[in-house]
Structure 1
Amino acid sequence: MIRTGSEYLASLSAGREVYVNGERVRDVSGHPQFKPLVDIRARIYDMQHQAPHADLMTYTEAGEVSAMGYKLPYSQADWWAKRRATDHMMNEIGGVVTRVGDETVGEMWSLLDGADVLGELDPQFAGNIRTHIDTVLRQDLFQVSANTDPKGDRSRPPQDQDPDMLLHVVRETDAGIIVRGAKFETAAAYANQAFTKPTIANWGEEEMSPYAVGFICDLNAPGLKFICRTGFAGRAPAADYPLANRFDEIDTLVVFDDVLIPWENVLFYRHTRAAMFMRATLHRYSAFPFLQRILKQTDMMIGAALFNVRQTGLDREQGVQEKLSTLACYREGINAHLTASVALAEKSPAGLMMPNQSLLYAGRVQACSQLPAMVQLTRDLCGGQVCVTPDAASFASDDTGPWLEKYYTLNDEWVAEDRRKLLAFARDLLNSDYAGHRLSFQLFAQSPPHTHLAAVYQNFDWDGPMAFVKHAADLSDTVMGPRTTSKADSAVTDWHISDPKIIARRMAAE
């Protein structure tokens, strides 16, 4: 059943070893750098119980009310409902939050599609994934994603350097496996659990590698240490940095110091084929909410740019309109890929409604690769006052306030305080430390850009264009033979494949 905000806050154990700025944090819910996002997550839980939010953010099945974001998608209607719920939530909180849970639960749905692969090693593992999908749904847990390891020297196999550079199993017990290593996880310090899995396909020559392990980690488990980057909240007044003080999601190096993972939480272990399948399908569903968040960020850029040019009448200039149109085309390109991926969705191996993979991944490439240019274009539209406007204290001062009132008031509609608020918002959205962090995060949040392109390559239907050209050029049948893939190519590309038909063909060939 859906939680309340107070139930979520109670789930954050005071015993966690959380560190920021070199100091131990005893209560993340009260710490100034964690509190803003903890409060937002608690508010989202409370919204699920309140009118008019509940109708959009929850659904009822067999008498139980659950979060719409965690609903297993069996139809196109489910995806439309998810999209409406996320849009409503972001609009209501007044900003973009990447990690709230709905964007990571889809990673487990991908493993549900690979139940046969997991069952090859141990039938229990296939059952574990279904159990955990149900657990997240019924207990309304805040789940994050644990992907990136410190990695160490990437030119060397993990076995040839400090073994803890990649998370691995050090021993087995009757109760479960003991793991050691570290993972970077956004929002881990104030989440309930993490889907933890390997990030690379090179486990050496060991088919049963201890690095090929995936599991659900209870973030209150003994032996975990949370070493967080310094947050942006509280560095400067909220009036000057309204986004950084409300929406900074703290990233964490989670250290696994011989942590016990119970067998019922293990999803695969010492099975490189299962690990490769997981990497191949990881973003099959989660890319959709990830793209939706970039869409909402783009809406914020368009709104900030449009307000800035309209307040001075520059929106009548053709050059300005063209730049605004470029932003609109970028935004609608993302919107079109999201819409089309659902309109042309297909059933997955587990019977779920899977967004069209080629369209979804192409949309991700467009959104991430063009985002830096769109940020720069928005800076251009917002103008130089974004970077030179004094702070709120200067506007409030008896000595300087009257002068700023004089020079920042345009007319009865645009008074100085509203202009200051708009320019502060745009500065924080585009130019601040928080803005730079968000841009880097979006580029790498769902793996590096080169793997985005690899996913497109592995999921695009190349046969269609080739067949068209074969017919148009009157080529012989011999030129349309099956494409061969070398072992070296396979090692690099196989784990990016997401299309279930391609995966099935490759696995059958092996």
Structure 2
Amino acid sequence: MIRTGEQYRDSIRDGRQVWINGERVNDVTTHPMFKPIVDIRARIYDMAHEKATQGVMSYVDETTGERNAIGLKLPYTQQDWHDKRLAVDIVLDDIGGIATRVGDETIGEMWSLYDGKDVLNEVDPRFAENIERHIHRTLHEDPFHVSANTDPKGDRSKPPQEQDPDMLLHVVKETDAGIVVRGAKYETAAAYANQAFVKPTIANWGDAKLSDYAVGFIVNMSAPGLKFICRTGFAGRANPEDYPLSNRCDEIDTLLIFDNVLIPWEDVLFYQHTKAATFIRATLHRYSAFAFVQRNLRLADLMIGAALFNARQTGLEKQQAVQEKLSTLAVYRETINAHLTASIACGERSPAGLMMPNQSLLYTGRVQACSRLHEMMHLARELCGGQICVTPDAASFANPEISDWLDKYYTVNENWVSDDRRKLLAFARDLLNSDYAGHRLTFQLFAQSPPFAHLGAVFRNFDFDSTLGYVKKAANLSDRVVQSSAEPRLKRVV
């Protein structure tokens, strides 16, 4: 059943080996750099129990009669996707910021495995049951589930076998109990999660059909041999009055070290076969991309709101040049919205019978959302003006020796007094100019895959056959000139 926030906190007080700023962390639930985001994840759990939000955040399972989290529900209908989208919006409204790695965005990668069961079963039938069992276990036990993806990689001009073998995570030994793995993965939220789906980075395997690097499994974050080495956090560095988002919504990234970690056979999802690993990488984001793109949509909302408030504060919103910039931000936002909405409306049946967002529309929306984000952030900076980078901090506004001067110059009119002006400028600075803002920009660009892979996903999923057929007929071409190599299209739901 769905857990409470306190049950979640108790579950990660397990003695795991976590370091941040070079120091060992005794309790991630209370450490000042972890506590804000742990509290957000706990808040999401609690929202599934509160009367006002329970109906949006959870549903009653027909087979068990128990309440489960809506974000983990297998999607079989278009309404399932509308429900998931609403639940994320409710959470982001509640926390007043963007939190990406909270579980609903990573469970979709497991659904991709579910879709690929038949393919994986053909390659190696040992692990098909593990996939389905873990999906339902996650659904009913409600752990905080993340995913570990990118390796340090080392020298990419060399195959992994020709350098330090630990640069890519790999199997070093098989035992009766399971496989033993070594290496490292980068994973956001790993230090305060319960489990992760660990998957391979596609490497230079050459013509190998079998590889110890082609492995995917579920790892329990309390497993012996795991070490969590985290980047420094943004929370606690400065006054929350000056950096409200940094101190509330920072999601800590981790270098997750696997120092001879035993993975039980029942937690192995695929192993050795490079064909299976390549297949999984190609289909990995068919569901999870939706959640990531939705976060870009809400980030656009924050930028538009901050820019529009600033224009209204300073009386510039009626200028044509300002309206054009605001409209450009609105077009960016609505382009994302249109792709998300259309991907549901034109949904497709997956190989396992799930409702899959229309792949061409979803991946095209991801390209638009990620590739233009830096432009939109700069446009929002222009609209907010130079004061976001020169305004004194909250302590200065509170100092009686100088507060009168700051009140004088930061009070715009009777509606916008200095305190509200300061708060808006501090929020915009943290959203657009801070270390946190720069980190989010890079994170959104690379969180699922690099930009070239975004376009590659569009290429693999766009219906090129229909355009070829249209031109073949319009140009009166013979049948022999059109030899389509495209994969058969999935069944579209009307």
Does TM, normalized by the shorter one, top 0.5? Answer: yes
- Misfit runs of 4+, over 4 Å: 497-501
Once the 2 structures are TM-superposed, how far is the Cα of residue 499 of structure 1 from its aligned partner?
6.5
The residue aligned with 1:247 is 249
Q: What CA RMSD, in Å, does the superposition of the two structures yield over aligned residues?
A: 1.3
Q: Secondary structure at the match of 2:427?
A: helix
The residue aligned with 1:459 is 461
Determine which of 331, 346, 350 is the counterpart of 2:333: 331
1:478 equivalenced with 2:480 (yes/no): yes
Measured in 2, the distance between the counterparts of 1:160 and 1:284 equals: 33
1:112 equivalenced with 2:114 (yes/no): yes
1:217 equivalenced with 2:219 (yes/no): yes
Mapping of 1:73-472 within 5 angstroms? 73-472=75-474
Residue type of the partner of 2:420? D
Residue type of the partner of 1:434? Y
Measured in 2, the distance between the counterparts of 1:124 and 1:412 equals: 71
Once the 2 structures are TM-superposed, how far is the Cα of residue 483 of structure 1 from its aligned partner?
4.0
Contact 1:19 1:227 in 2 (8 A): yes
Once the 2 structures are TM-superposed, how far is the Cα of residue 204 of structure 1 from its aligned partner?
2.8
Q: Deviations along 1:418-458, whole A, 9 cap, x unmatched?
A: 00000000000000000000000000001100000011011
Measured in 2, the distance between the counterparts of 1:121 and 1:171 equals: 21
Higher helix share: 1
Q: Secondary structure at the match of 1:205?
A: coil
Contact 1:429 1:435 in 2 (8 A): yes
Once the 2 structures are TM-superposed, how far is the Cα of residue 191 of structure 1 from its aligned partner?
0.3
Contact 1:212 1:275 in 2 (8 A): yes
Measured in 1, the distance between the counterparts of 2:230 and 2:205 equals: 28
Measured in 1, the distance between the counterparts of 2:226 and 2:360 equals: 38
TM-score (norm 2): 0.97
Q: Number of residues paired by the alignment?
A: 489
Structure 2 CA distance for partners of 1:384 and 1:498, relative to 1, 3 Å: farther
Measured in 2, the distance between the counterparts of 1:235 and 1:498 equals: 53
The residue aligned with 1:504 is none
Mapping of 1:30-69 within 5 angstroms? 30-62=30-62, 63-69=65-71
Once the 2 structures are TM-superposed, how far is the Cα of residue 108 of structure 1 from its aligned partner?
0.3
Residue type of the partner of 1:263? W
Moved more, 8-17 or 150-159: 8-17
Once the 2 structures are TM-superposed, how far is the Cα of residue 500 of structure 1 from its aligned partner?
5.9
Measured in 1, the distance between the counterparts of 2:358 and 2:425 equals: 40
Provide structure 1 residue ranges, at least 5 long, that are not aligned to the other structure: 485-496, 502-510
Once the 2 structures are TM-superposed, how far is the Cα of residue 294 of structure 1 from its aligned partner?
0.6
Contact 1:203 1:212 in 2 (8 A): no
Residue type of the partner of 2:366? R
Once the 2 structures are TM-superposed, how far is the Cα of residue 93 of structure 1 from its aligned partner?
1.1
Contact 1:57 1:67 in 2 (8 A): yes
Residue type of the partner of 1:266? V
Once the 2 structures are TM-superposed, how far is the Cα of residue 478 of structure 1 from its aligned partner?
2.3
Q: Deviations along 1:239-281, whole A, 9 cap, x unmatched?
A: 0000001111010000000000000100000111111111011
Contact 1:177 1:262 in 2 (8 A): yes
Residue type of the partner of 1:475? L
Q: Secondary structure at the match of 2:367?
A: helix
Residue type of the partner of 2:245? L
Provide structure 2 residue ranges, at least 5 long, that are not aligned to the other structure: none
Q: Deviations along 1:187-246, whole A, 9 cap, x unmatched?
A: 000000010001215323321100000000000000000000001111111000000011
Measured in 2, the distance between the counterparts of 1:199 and 1:216 equals: 15
